[in-house]
Amino acid sequence: MALKVIQWASGGVGRAAVAGIAAHPELELVGLWVHDPDKVGRDAGELAGTDPLGVAATDDVEALLALGADCVVYSPIVADEAVVARILAAGTSVVTPLGWFYTGGRDVSVLAAAAEAGGATLHGTGIHPGGVTERFPLMVSALSGSVTHVRAEEFSDIRTYDAPGVVRDIMLFGATPEAAAASPMVGFLGSGFLQSIDMVVDALGFRADAERRSRHEVAVATAPIDSPIGPIEPGLVAAQRFTWEATVDGEPVVTVRTNWMMGEEDLDPAWTFGPGGERFEVEVSGDPSSLVTFHGWHPESIAAGLERNPGVVATANHCVSAVPAVCAAPPGVLSYLDLPLVAGRAAPHLGRA
């Protein structure tokens, strides 16, 4: 029988997850939680841009938990630990791109207790963090001996990210450099990326220094730059670079970096994506070294990205693909290191009957 899945939230990741669940031969969408009252009662397929699925969106948490679903794909903008604990305690596993990639000594006692009480599993996954920053580097590292450094890096045009409120009010694009420097983004993003770094450090056996380094750099517009959040005027933030590092005796051994830019024109400093364009990279320095570049997760144009961003779809698919393994796993807060290989599934018209 198909595993019953609830999609929690219907933003970009949520819409892509609804479509992914509907296409997965081992899963059945049975519920959709929405925050916006205007979406309540609408068909999940309509909200996701697919054919109707016969599942009406709701904001009734109790009704959703009463469905006895096997798993929730949990993807609101910000995670609510109390809600996650409530879902787990009700006996429903949770897959999410919002954190809990690797506990690494962090206090997850509340969620672990809820998972144990409900016989459910919590698993964090995604793309960056949640894939590029730990899962893929560890996979590639198996080809090297004597690893000395691991780098995971994103190069993205943020104009294709269809979340103007997040880009403007949380990421603080279009703000002054002083405002951006004082933002909580380094800590907010670091809560996920530092889990990735800790997983790589622990799995590879680095004797890492106790403190992790972080660095936030900005570039400002030198001329007005058109963007989905309105024109970014000269002197305001139009590109940001976040870096987190683990070190051994002060020398970097694991580096995670994001390069988010409103295009490549009219920036000071004059940052560019380089000849590789938009991409994700995983580099493992060792004997021998490896450099893996991921293309295909960036849209062909700004307009295409605002309609359907492949990186967002990849994030959703990584969650959806994990559902069968998570549902088969023992209770607890589990990382990739605790699960078997997670894989996608054949297209419905090519799959086994």
What is the predicted pLDDT for the residue at 67? 97
147 lies in the same domain as 289: yes
Distance of CA 16 to the CA centre of its chain: 13
Does residue 129 have a cis peptide bond before it, meaning omega lies within 30 degrees of 0?
A: yes
**Can you list the positions of beta strands (E) in 97-197?**
121-124, 145-157
150 lies in the same domain as 188: yes
Find the domain containing 62 and state its range: 3-127+313-350
147 lies in the same domain as 107: no
43 lies in the same domain as 23: yes
201 lies in the same domain as 337: no
167 lies in the same domain as 26: no
26 lies in the same domain as 57: yes
120 lies in the same domain as 143: no
Tens place of pLDDT per residue across the chain (353 aa): 899 999 999 999 999 999 999 999 999 999 999 999 999 999 999 999 999 999 999 999 999 999 999 999 999 988 999 999 999 999 999 999 999 999 998 999 999 999 999 999 999 999 999 999 999 999 999 999 999 999 999 999 999 887 888 889 888 999 999 999 888 878 888 889 999 999 999 999 999 999 999 999 999 999 999 998 999 999 999 999 999 999 999 999 999 999 999 999 999 999 999 999 999 999 999 999 999 999 999 999 888 888 889 999 999 999 999 999 999 999 999 999 999 999 999 998 999 87
- The maximal CA–CA distance of the chain, rounded, in angstroms, is 59
29 lies in the same domain as 97: yes
| CB contact at 8 A, 304 and 328 | no
What is the predicted pLDDT for the residue at 114? 98
122 lies in the same domain as 158: no
Residue 303 falls inside a structural domain: no
Read off the CATH number of the domain in which 236 is found. 3.30.360
Distance CA 43, CA 172 (A): 34
Taking the model in full, what pTM does it have? 0.93
Distance CA 1, CA 20 (A): 18
Distance CA 312, CA 317 (A): 9
Read off the CATH number of the domain in which 38 is found. 3.40.50.720
171 lies in the same domain as 262: yes
Residue 228 CB contacts under 8 Å (≥ 6 apart), including other chains: 159, 162, 164, 167, 302, 306
